[in-house]
Amino acid sequence: MQDKDIKQQIRDLCRQKNAVIMAHYYQSPDIQQVADFIGDSLALAQQAQRTDADIIVMCGVHFMAETAAILCPDKKVLIPDVAAGCSLADSCQAADLRAWKEAHPGHLVVSYVNTSAAVKALSDIVVTSGNALKIVNRLPQDAPVLFGPDRNLGRYINEQTGRQMDLWNGCCHVHDRFSLEHLLKLKAENPEALVLSHPECRKEIVDNSDVVGSTAVLINYVKAHPEKAYIVMTADGVDYEICRACPGVRLINTENACEYMRMHTLDKLLRCLQTESPVVSVEAELAKQALLPIQKMLEWSK
């Protein structure tokens, strides 16, 4: 079937079923084109909370669908490919976090949104890369904090806030593989370009960047300054939104896709809407516990 026909069928099914398609900026252009809403992790959670659709199709990774399911227990949350996981979320299992917590009594637990529902349920508050500095700055100054699972984001938060949170030793394989050598080569070839990086990148990448932030923060910076050239140190897909909004902008792309994010295809999305599966759900008691730190995050993000 032609992509055009598939896209039409997808849109028709959304209308018939009162379904909304939410997509992360790392999705392929095809998926972004057919989505009702595109955003970073924070915006996807906020949008899930406010939608009046009966069905949410999350074209993102599994924890994003789980977060939507926790926030919207009365809605059906679907994901086109249920194998779309996250190496960072996988690096922190709930039993290991529980042991870390028990070894550090009196510590607050701050968890990155890239975690399972079971990890969130053990946390005092959740953060995304879009609100982490704001939220950590609001915690009591004298409170000791455990932060996980991303050691790069945790180090960045510590540097920016002056805190000394204990860090879980996890990372995102997509961002951690950017090398300083490659970045310096790109900078030498494009001396006029500004460097955009995600805080999941290693210190040497962030230290050589002009703008550091969530996918939405990076995209919005370019939208506000479209006359400049940019080296993009995050996963593929943000370039699509940037070029859509700012045609003619010069991007030096690093061609580094998140393979989990790219598991979703138009075919899988169509089948998902037709069959209303796979469903992502969270057991009620676990969802109740995981909801508290997510709600606190959304409240503190206002």
Where does this chain bind ligand SF4 (CB under 6 A)?
61, 86-88, 114, 172, 174, 200, 235, 258, 260-261
111 binding ligand 13P? (CB under 6 A): no
Which listed option, ligand SF4, ligand 13P, none, makes contact with residue 128 (CB within 5 to 8 Å by class)?
A: ligand 13P
Pattern 172-201, ligand 13P, x by CB under 6 A: x-------------------------x-x-
CB nearer ligand SF4, residue 230 or residue 260:
260
Q: How far apart are CA 130 and CA 150, in angstroms?
A: 14
Q: How far apart are CA 146 and CA 154, in angstroms?
A: 9
91 binding ligand 13P? (CB under 6 A): no
CB nearer ligand SF4, residue 61 or residue 195:
61
Kindly identify the residues of this chain, within the stretch 113-172, that bind ligand 13P according to CB under 6 A. Answer: 114, 128-130, 172
Nearest approach in angstroms of CB 53 to ligand 13P is: 21
Nearest approach in angstroms of CB 26 to ligand 13P is: 7
Coil, strand or helix at 160: helix
Nearest approach in angstroms of CB 128 to ligand 13P is: 5
Tokens of 234: 């995050």
Q: How far apart are CA 108 and CA 141, in angstroms?
A: 11
Nearest approach in angstroms of CB 9 to ligand 13P is: 28
Those residues whose C-beta lies under 8 Å from the C-beta of residue 272, and which sit 6 or more positions away, are: 57, 78, 79, 80, 278
67 binding ligand 13P? (CB under 6 A): no
The answer to whether 155 touches 166, Cβ cutoff 8 Å, is no
Those residues whose C-beta lies under 8 Å from the C-beta of residue 40, and which sit 6 or more positions away, are: 24, 25, 128, 129, 130, 214, 215, 216, 217
Nearest approach in angstroms of CB 27 to ligand SF4 is: 11
CB nearer ligand 13P, residue 215 or residue 273:
215
Tell the residue number behind the tokens 């030793």, with chain if given: 169
Q: How far apart are CA 258 and CA 84, in angstroms?
A: 10
Tell the residue number behind the tokens 């206002």, with chain if given: 302
Kindly identify the residues of this chain, within the stretch 203-262, that bind ligand 13P according to CB under 6 A. Answer: 214-215
Considering only 40, 81, 176, 241, the residue that binds ligand 13P (CB under 6 A) is 40
Considering only 28, 41, 67, 254, the residue that binds ligand 13P (CB under 6 A) is 41
Q: How many CB atoms lie within 10 A of CB 144?
A: 14
Which listed option, ligand 13P, ligand SF4, none, makes contact with residue 41 (CB within 5 to 8 Å by class)?
A: ligand 13P
CB nearer ligand SF4, residue 86 or residue 109:
86
Quote the Cα angle for 88-280-113, to 5°.
Answer: 30
Of 68, 79, 52, give the one whose Cα is nearest residue 113.
Answer: 68
Q: Which residues bind ligand 13P (CB under 6 A)?
A: 40-41, 114, 128-130, 172, 198, 200, 214-215
